[in-house]
Structure 1
């Protein structure tokens, strides 16, 4: 018997085989769509920044917190992409909600480094009072002068579609908009595009925040920073041409 053969039940092995077929279909969809390729390019660049950042040697406990949060985004992007390519769009989006929460936290910390120590030393009660997801969003909106509640809307969207069992969450289990929900993975271009486009938008924000923490004079990080900057320019030129800088 070949090593590893019959380790898992036959139905689970069959499911994995189907996932691999869906991955090939997904790669075919991406190959024919420049916009999806741009999203994945910026995701890779942001993940590379996170990987470089964690290699920076420091005794600063606050900076180590930012490094660990960056590492968490690396893992989250990797897992989310694997799920998306395997046809689990809702589950992929659920992981992206985690990335969104980390982005908000890093944004808060990059604007006020003193908050990192308060966060890492806080007990559960203090952490929930000062650093719960809703509190972080409120502080950021107040700091930036935002009144549109866009951050809250994005978090709520991820929660309703992927994070919580709601009627709206069934939308992401439908290969066709007006069709029935299905069990198991499926591959459909619109669903794949929706998840990967959100992944790309979050990757831009992750990369920006990691850049804010990387020491400007650390030469080892320069190639990754330059690569991210170029991919960001390319991404903005297509998706937000007015914001290109």
Structure 2
């Protein structure tokens, strides 16, 4: 379908057409890779869980906070995927950092729901003191007894590669490792695989955290929750298979 050149400037219309061509190339790459298809399947399942969760009718303001955060992950996954398939790998990764931060917050709230009203009612100064990204990560690490700083490493990786202008961020603007940075979108198999793989890992975490907030007896959510659980099992078995027992 040809873009209407009378609606937007011709250069922007040409850019959109190029993005659509790159989307076709991306779909061809994905069609040949079952691992990428599985990553997208868990993304869809997590987004569906978020969509069902926002339909739960409640007057509980704390529950509404969790619903809005779940909706935020839905929108972020959709936008990140749109950008990735259109060739904007760095911008797609930037949105995934938002997913990571939101998942951490959901994780904190699911472990201690008394924190939700503190966050909801806090002014900016109080919120940044207790609920800034670094404070949330530190609280989660302390709760779980983690000392490896893995959460901080993941956040910093997204920040350096996509969130902040620096020399490392230029890596995601290169179609090849040793090539020059390019302007505009491009499609390269390794870059697409890296983004979609991270998207799949984050989708597992997002679905798990949203799932923790469902009322146990709310039956409309059961099909989506079951579909997510089944997809998660398949995803884990493929990407994190259990070690085989040693033969005697």
Q: Match for residue 46 of structure 1?
A: 46
Question: C-alpha offsets along residues 71-101 of structure 1, whole Å, 9 cap, x if unaligned?
Answer: 0000000000000000000000000000000
C-alpha distance in structure 1 between counterparts of 2:45 and 2:56, whole Å: 17
Q: Match for residue 157 of structure 1?
A: 157
C-alpha distance in structure 2 between counterparts of 1:45 and 1:72, whole Å: 15
What is the CA distance between 1:3 and its match in structure 2? 11
Q: Match for residue 221 of structure 1?
A: 221
Q: Match for residue 106 of structure 1?
A: 106
Q: Match for residue 148 of structure 2?
A: 148
TM-score by length of 1: 0.97
Q: How does 1:75-224 map to 2 (within 5 A)?
A: 75-224=75-224
List gaps (5 residues or longer) in structure 2. 244-248
Question: C-alpha offsets along residues 18-39 of structure 1, whole Å, 9 cap, x if unaligned?
Answer: 0000000000000000100000
Q: Match for residue 246 of structure 2?
A: none
Number of aligned residue pairs: give it.
242
4+ residue stretches of structure 1 with deviation over 6 A?
Answer: none
Question: C-alpha offsets along residues 135-164 of structure 1, whole Å, 9 cap, x if unaligned?
Answer: 000000000000000000000000000000
What is the CA distance between 1:242 and its match in structure 2? 2.3
Q: What secondary structure does 1:18 align onto? A: helix
What is the CA distance between 1:216 and its match in structure 2? 1.3
Q: What secondary structure does 2:68 align onto? A: helix
Question: C-alpha offsets along residues 90-129 of structure 1, whole Å, 9 cap, x if unaligned?
Answer: 0000000000000000000000000000000000000000
Q: Match for residue 69 of structure 2?
A: 69
C-alpha distance in structure 1 between counterparts of 2:112 and 2:9, whole Å: 52
C-alpha distance in structure 2 between counterparts of 1:26 and 1:4, whole Å: 24
- 2:8 matched to 1:8? yes
- Answer whether contact 2:171 2:181 (CA < 8 A) is retained: yes
C-alpha distance in structure 1 between counterparts of 2:5 and 2:171, whole Å: 37
C-alpha distance in structure 1 between counterparts of 2:179 and 2:120, whole Å: 47
C-alpha distance in structure 2 between counterparts of 1:203 and 1:192, whole Å: 16
What is the CA distance between 1:4 and its match in structure 2? 5.3
- Answer whether contact 2:3 2:17 (CA < 8 A) is retained: no
Q: Match for residue 56 of structure 1?
A: 56
What is the CA distance between 1:171 and its match in structure 2? 0.4
